[in-house]
Amino acid sequence: MQEKLNQNLISVIEKIEKARIATDRHRIVRLVAVSKYSTEEEIAALYACGQRAFGENKVQDLKTKSKILESLPLEWHFIGSLQSNKINALLSLNPFMFQSLHSLELAEQLQKRLQSENKSLRTLLQVNSAKETSKSGFMPEVAYEAYLEILESCPNIELVGLMSIGAHTQDRAVVQKSFETTHKIFEKLQNKGANTLSMGMSDDFELAISCGSNCVRLGSVLFK
């Protein structure tokens, strides 16, 4: 299993590097291995191959896996839609980053809990740049203002950038447009401390990198 995972990781890193160098050889691209369908054994094996950042989209799964693997210095990212009744459970796990802040209401609730526990949380604002009803996130027209509002009113939420999911279509031009839309917002926010643009999954990460992404969330291409 480890040999197969190692081959997958090497192949993915080569593709990331090729896409990165073609657009911006000075940019560093973070790889988050999406482990939501993977076992603790597979995560530990990929860690042994050199991977450090892992992403989960359910609080309970993150709790279970991080507990079992607590002896490993893993960098856990929460990438799913967070329900308000799960905020306390997530904060107790001290994730490295929360990538999917999708509403002002959630930001307010998160701020209250963080403040009461005297904690901060590295966070990305989720942008629904494809305007798909199946996805969470701020519409692109309001994302910039919402980001500034949260920066101002939620000091315990450490906003460091944006996250977006590419358009759900086989039309690459439409997917590219959704990435470019998010990147334009990110560019405007860089002087506000935004340094992370999380875009790109297993079937579109090279395109996302060409559109400015510096963090990709990959599952199936690593764990296949």
Instruction: Determine which helix (DSSP H) or strand (DSSP E) holds 197, and give its type and residue range.
Output: strand 196-199
Which among 69, 47, 65 has a CA at the least distance from the CA of 56? 65
Q: Report pLDDT for 59.
A: 98
Which residue shows structure tokens 């896996």? 65
**Model pLDDT for residues 165-213, shown as the tens digit of each residue:** 999 999 999 999 999 999 999 999 999 999 999 999 999 999 999 999 9
Contact 105/122 with Cβ under 8 angstroms?
A: no
Which among 158, 164, 153, 165 has a CA at the least distance from the CA of 194? 158
| Domains annotated on the chain, with CATH | 2-223 (3.20.20.10)
Q: Report pLDDT for 103.
A: 97
**Backbone torsions φ then ψ of 188, nearest 5 degrees:** -70, -25
- For 96, half-sphere exposure in the C-beta direction (CA atoms, 13 angstrom radius) is 12
Structure token digits, residue 162:
């944006």
**Model pLDDT for residues 23-59, shown as the tens digit of each residue:** 999 999 999 999 999 999 999 999 999 999 999 999 9
**Model pLDDT for residues 79-119, shown as the tens digit of each residue:** 999 999 999 999 999 999 999 999 999 999 999 999 999 99
CA angle 102, 106, 112 (to 5 degrees): 145
Which among 145, 114, 115, 142 has a CA at the least distance from the CA of 128? 142
**Model pLDDT for residues 110-156, shown as the tens digit of each residue:** 999 999 999 999 999 999 999 999 899 999 999 999 999 999 999 99
Q: Which residues pair with 55 in a beta bridge?
A: 34, 77
Tell me the pLDDT band of 224, cut-offs 50, 70 and 90.
confident
pTM above 0.75, yes or no: yes
Contact 109/154 with Cβ under 8 angstroms?
A: no
